[in-house]
Amino acid sequence: MARADLFLGIVDKLLEKSEPAPVEVDASEVKSKELVPVAQDGSLKQTPRKTFLALLEDFQANPIAPIHERAMAIFKDNPTMFNQKLDQELEAQIFRWRDLMNNNEPEGVKFMNDLMNILQGENLDMMKRFYSTWMDINMENFITAYSKTKDTNCSVAALFSGVIPEEEMYNEYVEREDLLKAFVGREKIEPVHRLFANNCLLVLQIEIAKLAPKYQAPPEEAADPNVIPVIPPDQGSP
């Protein structure tokens, strides 16, 4: 399974990068006649991007539909808030949603899928990396939620939340393959979920085949039942 400390370390680094340094203000330079009512101070008005990020933070603590809907309305009215380049503040907020994922929060799933359908470039790749951690938490919940996205080929199956050593990557792929095979082997499963899980399996098997020559343990040679083992004579007998 993917290491929890790796994931938490990534989140800590993202939060450090996203927190702006405090600004010191010299009170002696502020004159009373220059004070402006908050309602008239344009500098205090948040940009759509800042408002959207603040809503993501609110949603983490209170995952309800009105917050989700308001955030998506802002995004649709301002589709250029996030471009092809990775937005680190957006990444930091999304990776704080791990608890929503662990709890299979219904509104959280809807929000994540909406973002999957609207983000582009590196920000879409970031959403996939975040989603990939769900495979290692609960495969059934992952299949149910992610099969509703546009990634019908399940390219997410080959991704991880962060960079890990190649050998560990191989072992993680094998674990995911085992989980998917167990899921597909169930008697009662929605046809659409079985089809999607098989797509994920195909992706994993391709990745495993690339790494197997370096990291697959050699199979143990099976004993031939027709061969009678030769017992050497006891060297100590007269």
The CB-based long-range contact list for 134-138 (8 Å cut-off, 24+ gap) reads 134/101, 135/176, 135/179, 135/200, 136/1, 136/2, 136/172, 136/175, 136/176, 137/101, 137/102, 138/104
What's the DSSP call for residue 114?
H
* Sign of the dihedral defined by the CA atoms of residues 11, 12, 13, 15, in that order: positive
Provide the pLDDT confidence category of residue 46 given band limits of 50, 70 and 90. Answer: confident
Burial class (CB in 10 A: 0-12, 13-18, 19+), 205: middle
Closest CA to 173 of 126, 220, 216: 216
Q: Are 55 and 70 in contact (CB under 8 A)?
A: yes
| Span 18-43, average pLDDT | 45
Least confident among 26-30, 44-48, 148-152? 26-30
- 0.85 cut: is pTM over it? no
Q: What is the pLDDT of residues 153-170, one digit of tens each?
A: 999 999 999 999 999 999
Percent of the chain surpassing pLDDT 90: 70
